[in-house]
Chain A
Amino acid sequence: MGAPETALAQNPVDQIRRAIAQWMAEHLTGEFAALRHRGGPGDEGADPALRKRWEREMAAGGWTCVGWPEAYGGRGLSIDAQVAFHEEYARAGGPGRMGHIGEGLIGPTLIRYGSDAQKARFLPGIVEGRTFWAQGYSEPNAGSDLANVQTRCWQCDDGSWRLSGQKIWTSLAHESDWIFVLARSEPGSKGRHGLSFLLLPLDQPGVTIRPIRQISGEAEFNEVFFDEAVAEADGLVGEPGKGWEVAMGLLEIERGVSTLGQQMHFAHELGLVVEVARRNGADRDPAFRARLARAWGGLRVMRYNALRMLSGGDDLKLGREALIYKYHWSNWHRDLGKLAMDALGPEADTPSEDPAVRRLQQVFFFSRADTIYAGSNEIQLNLIAERGLGLPREPRG
């Protein structure tokens, strides 16, 4: 702040900030204009076909996988530059990314744990916005206790793998081409031992996908059944029986930088709440005003919390601020959803055609999931107490 223009122009973070802002202004237009602020959490149903085309548009502009090393088709951006990218993308109303699981989860996992052949085969499809991925971890009896997965896999003589069992809550499986799964390769093994990490295409006879209707009425996630489904020999990531390591590495990535752009979305949502309140007079109610003040303060704290995380350099280690980050934002978001509904009053009670109101209704419903997936509130508190405060560990199966 306060730096002269010329210094700013030389700053690479600022260069990225300007470049993406300009690119968005030029490209989130025409048929894509309809996607502005769409497709976020709770709105995954918004025109998936068009959003996949948008991924290819992004790819053509060189704006996918910006944090990946250049050797793998990324831009090798620093953390600060990535944050700037995410902020400007969100500020421009960039739609929810269909490619998020590929770009944010499996891609980085392959970069870290995959073979050269796997990198060469799978990374380009992600960078180019052609291949879409689903995450097959949770099972009916393996949720918080992920190590309890029971889906079985075994290797055939030709080296290929077969998989039988069931995954559940699989987001966007019905829109995805590939899935990565955690499955038990050592019969009779227990817990985190004897698991393998496999990649397989969803479009095959051994795979059945059944949508599950969510609280909002939409079906963003699915049950995925495997009946001797096939994964090629090359579909195994890491060593057989060592899949847990890969899966945990991935969860660390999940808590990384991609969650930072979300604050811009949150700011947008808070702005919508303010608009509603101004329109219907809730802005004159002292109780509402007090809640709004706290919501705004909480959002500022979230930003400072992220900046603290980033000040550790490019190493997003699990510092104290990183430990509380998920618990803080997810509960904040849930409260925002409630505040939005209360501000709407009776207007909240019926599905709205007004995009802004609809968005707030989605926030109200979808934010209930924020404190369940990616480590529920209770699991987060366990982690904070154990890793942050050194309190005794929970019994583990």
Chain B
Amino acid sequence: MNLGLSEDERMIADAAADLLGQRSDSAAVRNCIEGEHGSDTALWQQIASELGWCAVGIDEAADGMGMGAMAQALLFEQTGAHLLCAPFFSTVALGANLLTHCGSESSRQAMLPAVADGGLSLSAPLPSTPDWRTAAEQVEARSAGDDWRLDGQVDRVPDAAYVDAWLVFARCDAQGDIGLFRVDAKAAGATVTMHPGWDATRCFGSLRLDDVAAERLDEGLTLQGLSQATAYARLYLAAEALGGAQRCLELTTAYVMERKQFGRAVGSFQAVKHRCAQMMVAVEALRSGVYGVARLSEQGAAIEHLAAECAAVRLQADEAFFFCAQEAIQLHGGVGFTWEYDPHLYFKRAQAARHWLGAPEALAEETADYVLNEVAA
């Protein structure tokens, strides 16, 4: 297994770093989160329609670029580092991912090409439980001929107001099972309410659905498909966290070199150096984890194994990102406590992302279950 990056992968990562370094710098992010619209529409247009970022991980058969999870993870690393305020994660890591692993052949063929060319942005609920289907608890689906109608409430939908369509889990009364549905944002009877969060770089909304037309996307949700979608979503969350943690380290290293106390750079004090070094250990260990699991997934690992690895790397990511964000504040001293400096943006994101698709305890439990059942002594 080769963990080196291919030329294409490196190019994608470098181009993303360049673009976001210019277009999603601190000023741009602040403009967005303090402005009217919590999403940078122009930047989203550019990355989705012109640069084709959404196509990277989509199969060639569906007009995507068919690159693997590594290329995808590298992009998320950059969007995480630059706190991109646009529905990229929602569209790719939630929408396209759920569609790919849980959708029927025909729904994939119908929707993925539109996602790939940047013409269709998506989102889906991001519950705090390991089982995505819990998002169906308050939604009911009724079949009406070939069509479906949905009623109820969907919480925790990131970028809800900024996307074209939502993927919604709902209970199908007649069959007693749970299905995955597409609801268009403009559909009659659908109302979105956005809820300001401490982490303003990713806004969540809730949906109120009153007899809303919907299209069923799956032909019966399988455990296998759900596990796969969950695994990839967790991997990409970990990749975002990697970027965030790396950025915290960079901000901190730069600051401790520049800030002088007692006549010397505070970064020359060993206590400070060691904390920075520990941040680097956390970041590089996380990088190894994310890149390793991404490659593993490209090689077609058994889903049970891949799921455990993704749970473990998500857990590692939570801890590494939070640690780095916390140290960033501490090592910036007073300015680290201000609105003006950036560490708090990462700190808030690190905390907010902690429970998505499973809090640390749940992730550890899932991993342990695999280790105790599968790992032969």
Contact = CB atoms under 8 A, between A and B. Distances in A.
Given A2-B300, A293-B371, A392-B265, 14 more contacts: A272-B377, A283-B372, A289-B364, A290-B364, A292-B368, A293-B315, A296-B375, A304-B291, A308-B292, A320-B280, A328-B285, A388-B277, A389-B249, A391-B268
A389 to B, nearest CB: 5
Contacts of B292: 300-301, 303-304, 307-308
A378 B274 contact: yes
A278 B277 contact: no
A14 interface: no
Most B CB atoms within 10 A — which of A304, A307, A321?
A304
A2 B316 contact: no
Contacts of A271: 375-377
A385 interface: yes
The 3 closest A-B pairs by CB, nearest first: A304-B292, A311-B4, A297-B312
Given A290-B364, A324-B285, A391 B257 contact: yes
22 contacts: A270-B375, A271-B375, A274-B371, A277-B372, A289-B364, A289-B369, A290-B361, A290-B364, A297-B367, A301-B286, A301-B292, A305-B285, A311-B2, A327-B281, A381-B273, A382-B277, A384-B277, A385-B277, A392-B264, A392-B268, A392-B273, A394-B270
A188 interface: no
Task: With a 10 A CB-CB cut-off, give which of A303, A378, A389 has the most chain B CB atoms.
Answer: A389
A390 interface: yes
A305 B289 CA distance: 8
B274 A305 contact: no
Contacts of B273: 381-382, 385-386, 391-392
Contact of A296 (B253, B277, B291, B312): B312
A294 interface: yes
A388 B273 CA distance: 11
Contacts of A328: 281, 285
B364 A293 contact: yes
A76 B309 CA distance: 34
A125 B147 CA distance: 81
Nearest to A328: B285
A312 interface: yes
A71 interface: no
Interface residues of A, number: 47
B110 to A, nearest CB: 30
Interface string B267-290: 110100110111011001111110
Nearest to B282: A324
B2 to A, nearest CB: 5
Contacts of A308: 3-4, 287-288, 291-292
B261 interface: no
A380 B277 CA distance: 9
Contact of B267 (A283, A289, A391): A391
B167 interface: no
A396 to B, nearest CB: 13
B367 A293 contact: yes
B375 A274 contact: yes
Contact of A274 (B1, B299, B315, B372): B372
Contacts of B285: 301, 305, 324, 328
A262 B366 CA distance: 27
Contacts of B293: 300, 304
B364 A389 contact: no
A336 B9 CA distance: 35
A304 B364 contact: no
Nearest to A312: B4
B365 interface: yes
Contacts of B361: 286, 290
Contacts of B316: 294, 297, 301
B124 interface: no
- A1, A293, A323, A380 — most chain B CB neighbours (10 Å): A293
Contacts of A381: 273-274, 277-278
Contacts of B365: 286, 289-290, 293
A1 B296 CA distance: 10
A103 B264 CA distance: 45
A321 B288 contact: yes
A321 B371 contact: no
Nearest to A273: B377
Given A2-B299, A307-B3, A297 B253 contact: no
Interface in B326-361: 361
Contacts of A286: 361, 365
B175 to A, nearest CB: 35
Nearest to A394: B270
A311 B291 CA distance: 12
A294 B299 contact: no
Interface in A1-23: 1-2
A275 interface: yes
B256 interface: yes
Nearest to B250: A389
Contacts of B4: 308, 311-312
Interface in B162-220: none
A255 to B, nearest CB: 15
B7 to A, nearest CB: 14
A390 B226 CA distance: 44
Contacts of A304: 3, 288-289, 291-293
A254 B375 CA distance: 31
B313 interface: yes
B281 A384 contact: yes
A36 B322 CA distance: 42
